[in-house]
Every structure is written in C-alpha cells, then in structure tokens.
Amino acid sequence: MKYDIKHTTPHYIRIRFARNILSDIEAYNLKKLLLDKSDLNIKKVIINKRPASLIIEHNGIQGDIEKFLDCIDLKNLNTDIPVFSDVITSKKELYKRMAPELRQKLRNEIMVEAAMDVILPAPIGIAYHMIQLASL
C-alpha cells in the first residue's frame, strides 16, 4: 500500500494514502484489520475517508505497524462487504418521515407567506418581511 507518514510521535502516527478518497467499505475493513492485529498494540484508529488519512494511537513499535501497512493491499479491502448500520446507511434512515402535524404547520406557514407576497403591495410586503426578520 502506498502511503506517506505525515506526523509521528512515540505513540501516534498520522498517515496519508496515495489515493485521494477511501470508500466506506475500505475504511471499515482497514480499521477492523488494524484493531484485530493484537501484537501491534493499537489502541485507537481514526480514518478520515475524504482526505484518505489514517491516525493510529498505539503502544507498540512503529516499525512493526509500518511493515504491516506495507503488506496491506487496498484492492483486497473491498471484498468483504459489512452490512452494519454505521457503515452503510440506507436512505430510509437518512430521511425519516416528518410528523403529520409538523408537515401541516409548515404547509400553512408557506401558504401564508406566498399569499402575503402575492396580495400585499410591494412597500407593505417589504415592511411585513422586515418585521418578520426583526422578530428573529
């Protein structure tokens, strides 16, 4: 795996991968792979998918972690697809239905605003909106 070590201390490593973005599956599998390797003494793994960076907090030897990372192939991390809600979120979970009472209230507010914009003359309409803005 191609990566650059961006920052290191005795118990901390920050790595940036050569690729720009990690997928959810790659990030999950990489984190699981690192945390399951008990002889590396890794305490915590934080993966930032967008910049494709990895933060490892450990009590082990940094050289062993680097050797382990050299052996990992990112292409192989796509093979096992986990079906956990924290990794793959369905649209149903992202977009929950709105309560009918709240939907009706919002619909009424939108109708009143539209009616005020159409019915009121321009100067009065501007004054009406300025009063609404001031009340925020």
* pLDDT tens by residue, 57-88: 888 788 888 888 888 776 677 665 444 444 44
> Where in the chain are the domains?
3-89, 97-135
CATH 3.30.230 fits 3-89, yes or no: no
Mean pLDDT of 125-136: 86
pTM metric for this prediction:
0.53
Q: For position 95, what pLDDT does the model report?
A: 56
Encoding tokens for residue 60?
Answer: 């082990």
What is the per-residue DSSP string for 30-89?
HHHHHHH-GGG-EEEEEEETTTTEEEEEESS-HHHHHHHHHH--GGGGGSS----TTTS-
pLDDT at 55 over 60: yes
Q: For position 105, what pLDDT does the model report?
A: 92
